[in-house]
Amino acid sequence: MVKAIIAPSILSADFANLGCECHRMFDCRSDWIHIDVMDGHFVPNITMGPPIISSLRKEIPKGNKDGSSPSFFDCHMMVSNPAQWVPEIAKAGGDQYTFHYEATENPLELVKLIKANGMKAACAIKPGTPVDVLFPLAEYLDMALIMTVEPGFGGQKFMANMMPKVEELRLKYPTLNIQVDGGLGRDTIPAAAKAGANVIVAGTSVFKAQDAAEMILFLRSQVDQNLKEKGLLNDINYYCT
């Protein structure tokens, strides 16, 4: 059983007020905060790194294990040497470390390293990478991420042709957290939810919404509806991670 998890991407937040923006998302009942870390090598952009994560963790301390104080930091590592940054992100306060399959030659060893450092482990694939590379890893992962845009920049158009990857993963691994990232909003969430995605990264559509809480509720309701139809919905507690 899985549940809807909404993870607003702070790449679309007001960087001058980042702590307040994170609090705003959790106040609007987001489950996670999605933190995009880019090194300018794996992707052609540079964003935040461990110092900013550490500062945000001071502003938003780790919550209770029962989820009553949501504070989950979902760190998407778009970096060329993901193993290098595992200890740093763990020390900074990351909860989950998502590396790119394309950036490592030994993904299973990297998964073990991530978990040894006290974080959940997730693996992402770019649009051009076949989904079957995830199959040997799936039993060791806490989450798989199917990119629905080319990684590196926010505001791109959702790639609906990635949905067969989500469908195949959901069919093979019904209880795995499956995340989609890129171009998710009111018009595109139905396709992602129908395919079986349960972890939704949304940037512009949430942070720039007139009513962020309403948008998060809408995204959640779409996922809930489809998970229920598939007999996979776990709705005991939205905030358990």
What's the DSSP call for residue 235? -
Rounded CA Rg of the chain: 16
List the catalytic residue out of 39, 95, 142, 181: 181
93 is in an annotated binding site: no
pTM over 0.75: yes
pLDDT at 44: 87
Q: What angle do CA 74, 105, 118 make, to 5 degrees?
A: 35
Q: In terms of C-beta density within 10 A (0-12 exposed, 13-18 middle, 19 or more buried), how is residue 154 classed?
A: middle
To the query of whether residue 36 is one of the catalytic residues in this protein, the response is yes
Tokens for 154? 């926010």
Which domains can be identified in the chain, with CATH numbers? 5-230 (3.20.20.70)
Per-residue pLDDT tens, the chain, 241 aa: give them. 899 999 999 999 999 999 999 999 999 999 999 999 999 999 988 999 999 999 999 999 998 665 557 899 999 999 999 999 999 999 999 999 999 999 999 999 999 999 999 999 999 999 999 999 999 999 999 999 999 999 877 677 999 999 999 999 999 999 999 999 999 999 999 999 999 999 999 999 999 999 999 999 999 999 999 999 999 998 654 444 4
* pLDDT for residue 156: 79
Q: What is the phi/psi pair of residue 187, to 5°?
A: -85, -25
Residue 185 marked in a binding site: no
Question: Would you say 42 is a known binding-site residue?
Answer: no
Q: Give the pLDDT of residue 236.
A: 59
> What is the spatial distance between Cα 228 and Cα 34, in angstroms, rounded to a whole number?
25
36 is in an annotated binding site: yes
Q: Which of 31, 36, 39, 95 is catalytic?
A: 36
